[in-house]
């Protein structure tokens, strides 16, 4: 037989101690916020469970039997241990709620997450946040391992083993230096020409590469890359230097385009839109600061 079936629950033990201390089932019931009939029924059920009488009842009130005195002493130890357990759990929860571990793909980490974290800090200044960056495949691995509370990816779908929700939208663009021959094409370049041209690209496993490869799949796929680089900064530097066409998020190149250092090359008919997702382990909704950050991201919060 399970120990739990032989031992009264904490509420019953608390009631027994109140009766012993106050000398009356009625006064104990009032203190604990239950009716006297409910308290009497709980005492009877407890006596049936332990198999001995715990209280002697009289017109003047109730007092513990010899067995009741023993059980009350043990009950006090159990309740003290339960309170210690409750305090420990509370401390763990406070520790969890005081930290937030985030991992994000490069575009989201550089151009969106900082604003969300500023808004989170304004609302919850006590939360300590750590932010890691990885490509979308790496983000998924970190979240699945439990090393992050919340992740952000750029891929076309939610990675396996994770749940997610779209928090923003993005679009990839083809950019070149102003002196590149494509920069002078008012009508842009065709999809087939783009597919057949060696480009400077992010590494495989990145959300940017996944979206481009999927978009060009019906056109024979992308040509072998001219270069593969693992950071947005390196890709932009290569494009500005005139090394070749680069495919990047329009968020990442907005300043360079506005300043005339890069030119967006239209590719009519090619859909390079992509959702940006928050992800977390499947079957476990974000809690505490992770839940708050997710809400801010879904609201599209921007820094002042």
Question: What ranges do the domains of the chain cover?
Answer: 3-94, 100-297
Give 263's strand partners. Answer: 176
What mean pLDDT do residues 40-64 have?
A: 90
Distance CA 133, CA 138 (A): 8
Region 199-225: mean pLDDT is: 91
pTM higher than 0.85 for the full model?
Answer: no
Q: What is the DSSP string of 216-247?
A: HGGGT-PPPPSEEES-HHHHHHHHHTTS--EE
**120-145 confidence digits (pLDDT tens):** 999 888 888 999 999 999 999 999 99
Tell me which fold the domain 3-94 belongs to. Arc Repressor Mutant, subunit A (1.10.10)
Helices (DSSP H) in 51-196: which residue ranges? 66-97, 106-111, 113-123, 136-145, 191-196
Here the tokens at position 90 are: 């509370």
pLDDT tens for residues 65-119? 999 899 989 989 988 888 878 766 665 565 555 789 999 998 899 999 999 999 9
More confident residue, 303 or 169: 169
Percent of the chain with pLDDT over 70: 93
Share of the chain above pLDDT 90, in %: 65
Mean pLDDT for 211-235 is 91
Does domain 100-297 fall into CATH 3.40.50.740? no
Residue 2 in this model has a pLDDT that exceeds 70: no
């Amino acid at each position: 037989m399970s120990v739990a079936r032989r031992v009264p629950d904490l509420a019953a033990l608390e009631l027994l101690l109140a009766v012993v201390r106050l000398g009356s089932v009625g006064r104990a019931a009032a203190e604990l916020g239950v009716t006297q009939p409910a308290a009497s029924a709980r005492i009877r059920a407890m006596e049936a469970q332990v198999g001995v009488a715990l209280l002697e009842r009289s017109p003047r009130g109730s007092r513990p039997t010899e067995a009741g005195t023993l059980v009350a002493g043990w009950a006090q130890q159990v309740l003290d241990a339960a309170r210690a357990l409750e305090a420990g759990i509370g401390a763990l929860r406070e520790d969890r709620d005081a930290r937030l571990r985030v991992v994000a793909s490069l575009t989201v980490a550089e151009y969106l997450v900082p604003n969300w974290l500023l808004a989170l800090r304004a609302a919850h200044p006590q939360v300590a946040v750590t932010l890691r960056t990885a490509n979308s495949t790496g983000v998924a691995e970190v979240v699945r391992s439990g090393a992050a509370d919340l992740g952000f990816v750029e891929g076309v779908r939610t990675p396996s083993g994770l749940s997610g929700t779209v928090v923003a939208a993005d679009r990839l663009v083809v950019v070149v230096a102003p002196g590149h021959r494509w920069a002078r094409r008012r009508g842009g370049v065709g999809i087939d020409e783009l597919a057949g041209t060696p480009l400077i690209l992010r590494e495989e496993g990145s959300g940017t590469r996944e979206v481009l490869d999927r978009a060009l799949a019906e056109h024979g796929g992308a040509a072998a890359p001219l270069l593969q680089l693992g950071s947005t900064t390196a890709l932009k530097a290569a494009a500005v230097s005139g090394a070749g066409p680069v495919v990047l998020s329009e968020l990442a190149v907005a300043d360079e385009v506005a300043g005339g250092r890069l030119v967006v090359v239209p590719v009519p008919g090619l859909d390079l839109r992509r959702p940006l997702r928050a992800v977390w382990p499947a079957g476990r909704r974000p809690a505490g600061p992770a839940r708050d950050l997710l809400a801010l991201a879904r609201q599209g919060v921007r820094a002042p």
